[in-house]
Amino acid sequence: MSLDRPPSPIGQRRGPAGAREQVHLPDTTDIAIVGGGLIGLSIAWRLARAGHSVTVLERETIGAGASLAATGMLAPAAEHEPGSDPLLPLALDSLRRWPAFRDALEADAGLSIDYRPDGTLVLAVGRDEVERLRFRYDLQRRSGLDATWLSGSEVRRLEPGLRPSITAGVHCPMDHQVDPCRVMAALAEACRRAGVSLIEHAPVTALDWSGVRVAGLHVGEHAIRSGTVILASGAWSGEGGLLPETLSLPVRPLKGQSLALRTTRRTGTLGRMVWTEQVHMAPKSDGQLIVGATVEDCGFRPGVTAGGLYALLEGARRVLPGIEEMDVEAVWSGYRPTSDDDAPIIDTLAPGLVAATGHHRNGYLLAPVTADAVAELVTNGALPEVARPFTRARFVQAEPWRASA
């Protein structure tokens, strides 16, 4: 059983790239990306395909922050909640990009990412939960999302293994999912084949400023000159030290604990993602059932707790009795990169410096649109229209370099 984050190799909750020979730090690169998670690698792959030389610098190991700890939900309908209307166009746009993103990634890497277009069931048990679910369903319908109200018996016809106590449900057929470990393995391989340098255990210690422009960065004493530096360091994006106070990013870690169960023919499994008010459960094609995830605003506190695991198991058992016979294969924790409004920050912070962070729990859903938006920003100097509401400007006044330009 694994603690802290998924172990390696393919098919389990594990790392994407395995042991990798140490890559020497370059002196120059077209693009330097700070952060080797889902967003950083998606951007690196896109830019390398466009002909740029790209170096990814990861403070720990590839995917160590949130990317390998995620469930892999592409769920704009199930995720939609009060206050998230501004994010919905970006989420739906990215979902539409996912099939092409999948096809290109699998072709470039020669690996499957276990893309499953099975939809999501959101469940209610008891009168209070039914009322809250009805509120969410009405919101989905007002927002134009495809969602169907189901009685308890209709829910159990879709998922026979659920308890008879299920009172109602909402089926969201447009929601899809991927296997995060397979996605990260494919991205690492696609990046490698495209010529990207993936360098682990290389924390960036400083940016190299030339006036108001960023001209590179430092890893310890080693300087790397770069035409563009992209900050994609997830939950660490808001940490002090790298950015000046005037460019600070309102991003903090929200810890989540998850576990993987091994399903068998005897225990049964689910046919699609299932959500309750306590947990979400995602079946994977390799026979694992992922149960996640706690939400803990506790900073970078590592590890898993008895209370967190109890909450996950009890929340799952409440609706799926078959989990009592499933083996626990892995437990782990990770850190969601959460901005002050739970939406991403995609922006030019200063000449030569771009940010792509703050994706909260929608990193996998938003990876294609983020990668495309950053590629357009780097290439053409402007964001596509769908991404323009998600700059840092929504939190602060105009930057001094922009005001004086």
Q: Where are the beta strands (DSSP E) in 51-202?
A: 54-57, 73-74, 120-124, 148-151, 168-172, 176-177, 197-199
pTM of the model: 0.92
Q: Are the CB atoms for 312 and 257 separated by under 8 Å?
A: yes
Q: What pLDDT score does 287 carry?
A: 96
- pLDDT classification of 22: cutoffs 50, 70, 90: low
DSSP 189: H
Residue 111's beta-bridge partner residues? none
Range list for CATH 3.30.9.10 in the chain = 117-176+253-339
Range list for CATH 3.50.50.60 in the chain = 28-69+181-250+341-403
- pLDDT tens digits along 242-258: 999 999 999 999 999 99
- pLDDT tens digits along 180-221: 999 999 999 999 999 999 999 999 999 999 999 999 999 999
- pLDDT tens digits along 328-356: 999 999 999 999 999 999 999 999 999 99
Q: What does CATH list as the number for 117-176+253-339?
A: 3.30.9.10
Distance from C-alpha of 166 to C-alpha of 155, rounded to nearest angstrom:
8
Exposure of 57 by Cβ count < 10 A (0-12 exposed, 13-18 middle, 19+ buried)?
A: buried
Return left, alpha or beta for 382; rule: phi > 0 is left, psi -120 to 50 is alpha, else beta.
Answer: beta
Three-class DSSP category at 251? strand
Distance from C-alpha of 322 to C-alpha of 320, rounded to nearest angstrom:
6
Q: What does CATH list as the number for 28-69+181-250+341-403?
A: 3.50.50.60
